[in-house]
A and B are shown apart, each in its own frame.
Chain A
Amino acid sequence: MRPFKYSKTSEASKAVSIVSGSPKAQFLAGGTNILDLMKEDVERPDQLVDITRLQINQVTTLASVGGKAGVKLGALGKNTEAANHPLVRQQFPVLSQAILAGASAQIRNMATNGGNLNQRTRCPYFYEVSMPCNKREPGSGCSALKGINRMHAIFGWSENCVAVHPSDMCVALAALDAKVEVQGAKGKRSIDFKDYHRLPGDQPEKDNTLEHGELITAIDLPGNSFNKSYYLKIRDRASYAFALVSVAALLETNGSTIRRASIALGGVAHKPWRAYEAEKFLAGKSATAENFRQAAELEMKQAKTLAHNEFKIELGVRAIVQALNQALES
């Protein structure tokens, strides 16, 4: 690991001003991603500002917008606390499930809600510093495009990058239309979740729309009227592995009719992928296996596969159907 200066602060504005003012400084939250990447020499900060002592770590009720109260997750709260908080378990069980499907108990005890959003891809070429990777070293090329790309994207990729976003939590947040609250040197702003992470385009080095030095302070979950939900994760082993495909499915039903669906997919794109085609198809239809299958096929028809990940299409169809079925039973 390269040498770096370590400092800690309990003031958000101080953390922001240090990192904003220094191009190679970074925030240190749970450390489960950045320290790993520093050991691999992928991340090379010259300064880490430890933000774990910031007091923005609580789960609180969010004032209601049009009827239903939502929940605010402090950015420095731990993944374990978010998943187990009664407000989240009662109102947003799909988020609890998604968090609990990720990593291990030890890692979830360390990982923070903000850090989870900013974790970087697990593409092996990104990790291997001797190989070209546009995300790590812009302009060097994408080794995965013609390399081993079984784990890689089938939606929204570009010739420059076929990596996927690895988070489970973020898939549920995408389906829940969360908002990311951030504080920067120029002030505060709120980013819709769908606009938070980026597609690679010609700037795959940018995972999200945050500016250098901007701090995530909270993640807001607006109240909603979904009454059924499920998070399904398909992976190479039963637990403690990243998703091949995952699905966060939310349904608002009236009897056997689907009023509205919200579906997001993980493991398939550079950002959590909202299945808008499937959602549109399901609105107003009855909740039958046939409709679920058609919705899933409609969505997966948009996919563009690479040499080794064609299996993700059929897997994706089946995963969407199963997630919808399990949501219905919830």
Chain B
Amino acid sequence: MIRFASVFKEYPRTGLALSDVSFTVQKGEFVFLTGPSGAGKSTILKLIYLDEFPSKGDVWIAGARSRQVKRREVPLLRRKLGVVFQDFRLLDDRTVEANVGFALEVTGVPRDRIPPKVSRLLTQVGLASKATAYPRELSGGEQQRVAIARALVNDPMVLVADEPTGNLDERATRSVFQLLRDINALGTAVIMATHDLDVVRRADLRVLEINRGQVAFDSADDSRAGTRDAS
């Protein structure tokens, strides 16, 4: 479903951010992306949601090959993905339901189909009671749930989360993580970059460790899994 094939990514001023990265994410998988700051985790996620393109190698997303994707096809591919960030990125001047509805509106969903879908999504993330609140009236964890609801509007096949719990305390972290697992259980693949090794350790899920722009460790890769277990 998502495949990196010998991907290199070079930025104009900072140089090589990824070198020879290869991995595959299957349908419905949950993958942690870990590694030190500056390792290239966000870069990998940007390549997945087509905000960046490889300098060399190929990224395959839902059957589309990055080097063949035309500019005007990017929006349509993005509708197959959901994206969540550390800083939520909600619109402050709109209510919770308007924030979620906005994503439906701008992707051309008919007006009458929007309210039922919004309330379904808010129920799914446990925020039905806060539909008419503004983002500043919510806790960080709640705001991230709104962002997750928004990421789910297009029924994505994969949810891409860049440190979704980076701004949250431990309780909020746990509940947001649980929400991501619930979403994953319904069949959506989740790729989550995180620094929170507690969360990673407690959950028995696939870990892809990035270091200096390379895959240092992949728990799905049997040949290297052993070294990790020993450490």
Do chains A and B stick together as partners? no
Binding site for A on B (CB under 8 A): none
